[in-house]
Structure 1
């Protein structure tokens, strides 16, 4: 794409120069700004109607640029009761608090709560404006005010600057970006699918290694445990307690939500055990007044277990390879010392499907969103264990596989990062006039990716 031949200054460094024939306008001159509201939650007749009522949470959970449905819906009487206003299809719905900056284009008439505002086109092109706002999140947040949480006021949004090319040019920019970002999005999705497949492969390799071993020709036997199935006949089936020498837990202390630096004490977060490695960077700095209360220092060669968490994460584990010296456990994590076994083999087992299946059977709790495991139930989880020399061989093979898998995952994640940067840079260049797309046309003989992009274009411009 070539640049525009004539440019002019703007007073805003983040927008920079714009084409000479463009205007630097404000949101209120291009859109009607509509605030949202919430009906009384105590009146049943206001809820479960047929009017979609968009909240910041709805916008944050979207996987694309459009919003059609909300998690909760209201009735006409609910709408009338709170002063909310229906906005038409193609309005931009923008979250203006908790967080500021999530946005989507309305696919039909809808309303919002007070955490969102709608920009109804009155001279501005919705899709062009959507792309511009998508790269302006930082600037929107700088205009937020508040102590408990930041909120972007109606006046601040009305005065928000907008580069404003002629409407037909806004339309062309939107068409160009729909087409080009669709191609980039396909490439991003391919890399994300690869990351997902690598994760599935890791899970499959672990589950097979800790239940079938490395020898595909080994004679098998019924383990007698539903979740283990058949195991090599020379393996022993036992409870975890046969290999547990000590279970320790820490203390809940007041801590700042920043990682501990050198000379400071830190307490691990439960998020330290979310992956298949212990992430010691997931810790909080213990406040000075609480340092005397910490207990259970993190030690090397220990299994770390989340004894209380959500149903999906209760029982999640990590393995401590080193002794950081300044990190301690909270009361929701156990530190387990193992004996008469290769400790990392047991850690591998806790990453397997058979372990997760057994944990689901024994976790309990008064709340469906927070579950816990009794220590005795954890100790009674069944595991199939080969001779020690075979345990070590399995662990060594796992480390080789994991190293290669990590490398491939890092490459895919880097590719996603670069593609996302390319996407943002392309949008920024187009909506601030750094590239001239007025003569752009979709290439002839478009492939499937291009056709999908054109479907988007026809949806908004046909």
Structure 2
């Protein structure tokens, strides 16, 4: 269930699902029933079902009274509109904001507008058309971001393997996946380029307003009031929520690190930021592709220590870094502008729904 798409059958979800051990307590849902995730209603995780099925005990199921003036499409928009999500948030109960619950007696006490049935249908049809246009536009912009990210990744890979001199003589790298590299470059194991260690803290020791960044096993950077490292470093989690070989950080200064985060420091023969570019680009496709660990659930220090890096002379590294920084800044600017456009489109979508279901616009005139 999503605050954007409403109810989605499990077969259509792009996630790995497993069958429940028991269906005890599951609730039947008919087409036209309103289904609410009890704990996530405050995020808009509810909607009118378009098909029959079952939901887990974490959901509430509400059915319109017989002969009620109830257009499912209208109320699907109404209950997921900003004002009603805010009202459900206000009425939900719980200690933690992320675990607020809305109970049946409270939900059923909420006042809702009941326009004539034909007007409900007209509003639902209008919003179907207009939100579809906005959704198509958002999808196009999201594809543009994906294309820009792919273009950036491709450019980084090319420069890290061939440099900026297209006429430079080449030699075999020794890696089938890497192919050839400039003959003046060396393939050097990571253990000869830097020191590899780990942090010694646990995520539970993070402090919300800490003075120093705290690199943990996910993509999010937390804060800490203490630091164990001071200087230039590259970090990647040995395992965690972000995906093995997918999360990398570069930092220069005082910081803290989780006990399962590898920290690369004391660089010699290679610039720290150059190492960051190379490790984040090639560790997963090269080192992990040749690993005997099928699930790739964790990184081991011997694998990292033996990971070979294509190292240009230091002056050439500096030129490559300047080029990558310039090109990435341009692409990042385009991505940032596109993300702002998507955000504005999503806000316009929400405002349009709110205006239509609360009678602020006459959909007959807008048709």
- Is TM-score (shorter-chain normalized) higher than 0.5? yes
Distance 2:159 2:41 in 1: 44
Corresponding residue for 1:143? 91
C-alpha displacement at 1:255, in angstroms?
A: 2.8
The two structures have a TM-score, normalised by structure 2, of 0.86
The two structures have a TM-score, normalised by structure 1, of 0.69
The one of 284, 300, 308 aligned to 2:231: 300
Q: Please state whether the residue corresponding to 1:90 is helix, strand or coil.
A: coil
The one of 50, 73, 79 aligned to 1:133: 79
Distance 1:354 1:331, change over 3 A: closer
Within a 5 Å distance, the mapping from 1:3-402 to structure 2 comes to: 59-60=1-2, 64-69=5-10, 71=17, 82=25, 84-98=26-40, 100=42, 101-121=44-64, 122-135=68-81, 136-147=84-95, 149-245=99-195, 247-252=197-202, 254-256=204-206, 258-260=208-210, 264=211, 267-271=214-218, 274=219, 282-285=221-224, 296-297=228-229, 299-309=230-240, 312-314=243-245, 316-321=247-252, 323=253, 325=254, 327-337=255-265, 338-353=267-282, 355-362=284-291, 371-402=297-328
C-alpha displacement at 1:421, in angstroms?
A: 0.8
Distance 2:352 2:41 in 1: 24
Distance 1:257 1:141 in 2: 27
Distance 1:142 1:118, change over 3 A: same
C-alpha displacement at 1:106, in angstroms?
A: 2.1
Distance 2:196 2:55 in 1: 54
Q: Deviations over 1:62-105 (max 9, x none)?
A: 97345234656689xx76x64x5533223232211146431244
C-alpha displacement at 1:360, in angstroms?
A: 4.8
C-alpha displacement at 1:390, in angstroms?
A: 1.2
Corresponding residue for 2:359? 433
Distance 1:257 1:124 in 2: 49
Aligned pairs, how many? 353
Distance 1:183 1:109, change over 3 A: same
Q: Deviations over 1:268-309 (max 9, x none)?
A: 3333xx4xxxx7xx21445xxxxxxx5523x33221222232
Distance 1:72 1:240, change over 3 A: closer
Task: Indicate if the aligned counterparts of 1:68 and 1:106 stay in contact, CA closer than 8 A.
Answer: no
Task: Indicate if the aligned counterparts of 1:128 and 1:174 stay in contact, CA closer than 8 A.
Answer: yes
C-alpha displacement at 1:345, in angstroms?
A: 1.4
- Give the structure with the larger strand fraction: 1
Distance 1:285 1:341, change over 3 A: closer
Unaligned runs of 5+ in 2: 12-16
Q: Deviations over 1:341-392 (max 9, x none)?
A: 1221111101214654313544859xx5x83322222010012112221111
131-140 or 301-310: which moved more? Answer: 301-310
